[in-house]
Amino acid sequence: MDVCNRSLDTVRHSRNLGMEVLSAEEDGVRVRLPWREDLVGNPDTGVLHGGAIFAMMDQAGGMANSCRLYPNFEITPTIDFRVDHLHAPTPGKAVICHASCYRLTPNVTFVRLTTWEEGEEEGEPVATGLATYTRMKLDKNGRVVS
């Protein structure tokens, strides 16, 4: 979990969005995005902006990679990300994303993601996603190995 918290601390937009790591294990990560007025996409509805939800999901996917690769550390930039926004979350409610790295190849990671309203993990997801990330290995000095 420390690796994931450090990841959140070093990514400015993650800090600005107020993301929080709820759990981090080899088989997956849970990240919370709070509902805040400044994250609302449409002030008439009070619904969280889809871009904020996407940013949380992408960050959760990267952290799922870190957990799967631990104790090794690699940089894993996003190659491709498909999100299906299934329905708008309830205004005033935080959302939680579960991300799991389900396959590793020598060069690519594959991640599944599901996002729910807080307290509704057994209900209808707000969004689902599939993402791929490039594996960039680092040497002992933190430089990318080609």
- The backbone torsions φ and ψ at residue 83, rounded to the nearest 5 degrees and listed phi first, read -120, 135
> What is the length of the chain?
146
Domain parsing of the chain, residue ranges: 2-137
Decide: pTM greater than 0.85.
yes
22: tokens are: 């709820």
Q: Is 68 helix (H, G, I), strand (E, B) or coil?
A: helix
pLDDT for the residue 122: 75
The CATH class of the 2-137 domain is alpha beta
pLDDT at residue 1 greater than cutoff 70? no
Question: For residue range 48-103, what is the model confidence (pLDDT) as tens digits?
Answer: 999 999 999 999 999 999 999 998 888 999 999 999 999 999 999 999 999 999 99
pLDDT reported for residue 146 = 65
